[in-house]
Chain A
Amino acid sequence: MSEDKPYLALDGVSLAFGRRQVLENVSLKLHPGEIVTLIGPNGAGKTTLLRVALGLEKPDTGEVRLKPGLRLGYLPQRLKIDDTLPLTVRRFLSLAPQARRGGGEALGETGAGHTLDLPVQTLSGGELQRVLLARALMRDPDLLVLDEPVQGVDVAGQAEIFALIRRIRDTRRTAILLVSHDLHLVMAATDQVVCLNRHVCCSGHPEAVKRDPAYLALFGDAADAFALYAHHHDHTHDHGDGHPHG
């Protein structure tokens, strides 16, 4: 798949808000059918990087190349609709321009079909994520950008949503760029992990990244927990000290 022209290429992107440097010389490529996950601590610039990729934010220096004519799908981190706006989920989904699929069908796929006639303001965090994902899928996107897609979703639901994301990639060769905090789900569902802390600390296949000292330095205890989890499943790691198993 790396022979394909990338859908998205960031080249040496830097961005500062006032005196605060948010991104520093970040480069990234995303090919068709590839899932790339950004991980990193709070304030690492993950959301900003997504916004740069989507053209919502202009970098100070560096280049963003998006293959022309791509259909984009976007799941934003927050949706705050004022209580005074009477809006059902059905109507919310109908606001997607150039939808190629029906809202009800997409909502069924993300497992929130029962919310169709509810006011959007009454949804739980997990339901809202599924509705937002459905809206992104309605456009049948070539490039899907997801900012914390499983935020507020229960554990069983998280696995479902990651399975759905993988299925979308497999059936439609969609390129997917996402931010997630959940390390072990990310590791299982991702082709490439980019560990971000203003600059790219390390990147590569999940198996390689989790042995990387930069990753371990950044995540410390969380990496331990993950290694413990991984240990039960594939015996590739000792308890988080970063040494490969014999």
Chain B
Amino acid sequence: MPTITTIPMITATGILMDDFVWRAALAGLGVAAVAGPMGSFVVWRRLAYFGDTLSHSALLGVALGLLLGINLNLAVVVLCLGLALLLVMFERQRLLESNTLLGILSNSALSLGLVVLAFMETVRIDLMGYLFGDILAVTNADLAWIYGGGALTLAALAAIWRPLLAVTVHEELAQVEGVNVGATRLAFVLLMALVISVAMKIVGILLITAMLILPAAAARRFARNPEAMALLAAGLGMAAVMGGLGASLAWDLPAGPAIVLAASLIFAVTSLVPRGALAR
């Protein structure tokens, strides 16, 4: 009876049957799993601005990738990495106070990306999707990139965990104790570039930093050691993804911002839990 089959499409069960919802959920969970541990380091190392600068430059990476006709994920990773190296170099030469430098580069890179895209009249891209994420349009190829890139990031992070933690605690003490600080910092920046290209599709370049720092900040109150905080951040990020995605489907909200708001809500609620109720 074909007349009634069109009606259940808008019910909850109908939506859950659709492939795109499952792909969106899988993609979001994968990103949250990587964003938790990486975001913990972003918070510990006070690199929120740095994360913003890198992610804002990702749009320029997209534009250049389109212009040169190369893989966009690759273009984003390469551009972020190039910018990060430039930043490290500027910092070494003590050219500018760091937050000022980050603010300048962040906004310049974003504007340059927008301008380059505007010049490419023949290419139609979903600008809103890049800026704020388009999780419901995730393809199987995107999923493969998220899980491949995500697994690579987590494995590499586990491998450099101990030296990275030592460098985070005190860079020069670590260097005197024989840790290769330059290589460790470089590896971390490379991982940041990877995470940005992995998360771009889900929450968009303007909201990636939120996905990194919100779950980590929420996890802080309940963690007694760095590893617990990283794991809990991943878990809270996953909860935010499911909550945000659910709200997006139920009330027709934009998915990326809904996920970030869900993470904000989790942060706000956990802030209300009295200190000492759980930790210690």
Assess the A97–B179 pair: CB atoms within 8 A: yes
Is A79 an interface residue, CB under 8 A from the partner?
yes
Question: Is B49 positioned at the interface, with any CB of A under 8 Å from its CB?
Answer: no
> How far does the alpha carbon of A55 sit from the alpha carbon of B175 in the complex, in Å?
9
Interface size class of B (residues with CB under 8 A): 20 to 34
Select which of A56, A73, A79, A86 is within 8 A of B226 by beta carbon: A86
B168 and A56 form a contact (CB under 8 A): no
Q: How far apart sit A68 and B179, CA to CA, in the bound complex (Å)? A: 17
A129 shortest CB reach to chain B, Å: 14
Q: Is A215 an interface residue (CB 8 A)?
A: no
Known: A86-B226, A91-B225. A74 touches B168 (CB 8 A): no
- Tell me if B44 counts as interface (CB < 8 A to partner A): yes
Residue in chain B with minimal CB distance to A86: B223
| CB <8 Å contact, B176 and A95 | no
> A56 touching B176 by the CB < 8 A rule?
yes
For the complex, is B214 an interface residue (Cβ under 8 Å from A)?
A: no
A85 touches which one: B94, B169, B179, B279 (CB < 8 A)?
B169
Kindly report which residue of chain B lies nearest to residue A99, judged by CB atoms.
Answer: B177
Interface string of B169-204 (1 = CB under 8 A from A): 110111111110000000000000000000000000
Q: Is the CB of A82 within 8 A of B43?
A: yes
Q: How long is the Cα–Cα vector from A79 to B168 in the complex, in angstroms?
A: 11
Q: Is B228 an interface residue (CB 8 A)?
A: yes
B43 lies within 8 A of A56 (CB): no
Expressed in whole angstroms, the Cα–Cα distance for A85 and B229 within the complex equals 8
Interface size on A, residues (CB 8 A): 27
Chain A residues with Cβ below 8 Å from B225 are 86-88, 91
Q: Are A56 and B175 in contact (CB under 8 A)?
A: yes
Q: Which of A17, A51, A95, A97 contacts B169 (CB 8 A)?
A: A95
From A18, A54, A85, A139, contact of B168 by CB (8 A):
A85
Q: In this assembly, does B242 line the interface, its C-beta being within 8 Å of a C-beta of chain A? A: no
From A56, A86, A95, A145, B224 is in contact (CB under 8 Å) with A86
Query: In whole Å, how far is A62's beta carbon from the nearest beta carbon of chain B?
Result: 20
Query: Is B220 on the interface with A (CB-CB < 8 A)?
Result: yes
Kindly supply a per-residue 1/0 record for chain B positions 150-184, scoring 1 wherever the CB is within 8 Å of any chain A CB and 0 otherwise: 00000000000010011011101111111100000
Contact of B162 with A56 in the complex, beta carbons under 8 Å? no
Which residues from 222 to 236 on chain B have a C-beta closer than 8 Å to any C-beta of chain A?
223-226, 228-229
Q: Are B166 and A74 in contact (CB under 8 A)?
A: no
Interface flag for B46 (CB, 8 Å): yes
Residues of A within 8 A of B165 (CB): 95
Q: State whether the Cβ of B205 lies closer than 8 Å to any Cβ in chain A.
A: no
Residues of A within 8 A of B176 (CB): 54-56, 72-74, 145
* B173 and A74 form a contact (CB under 8 A): yes
Nearest CB of B to A162, in Å: 22
Q: Does B217 contact A (CB under 8 A)?
A: yes
Which residue of B has the minimal Cβ distance to A80? B170
Tell me the bound Cα distance from A127 to B232 in angstroms: 30
Q: How long is the Cα–Cα vector from A86 to B46 in the complex, in angstroms?
A: 14
Chain A residues within CB distance 8 Å of chain B? 17-18, 51, 54-56, 72-74, 76, 79, 81-82, 84-88, 91-92, 95-98, 135, 139, 145
Instruction: Taking A54-B176, A139-B177 as given, write out 5 further A-B residue pairs in contact, using a Cβ cutoff of 8 Å, ordered by the A residue number.
Output: A56-B176, A72-B177, A76-B173, A85-B226, A98-B178
8 contacts between A and B (CB under 8 A): A51-B172, A56-B176, A85-B169, A86-B220, A88-B224, A88-B225, A92-B169, A145-B176
Counting from the closest, the 8 A-B pairs by CB-CB distance are: A74-B176, A85-B44, A95-B166, A86-B223, A84-B43, A84-B220, A72-B176, A54-B176
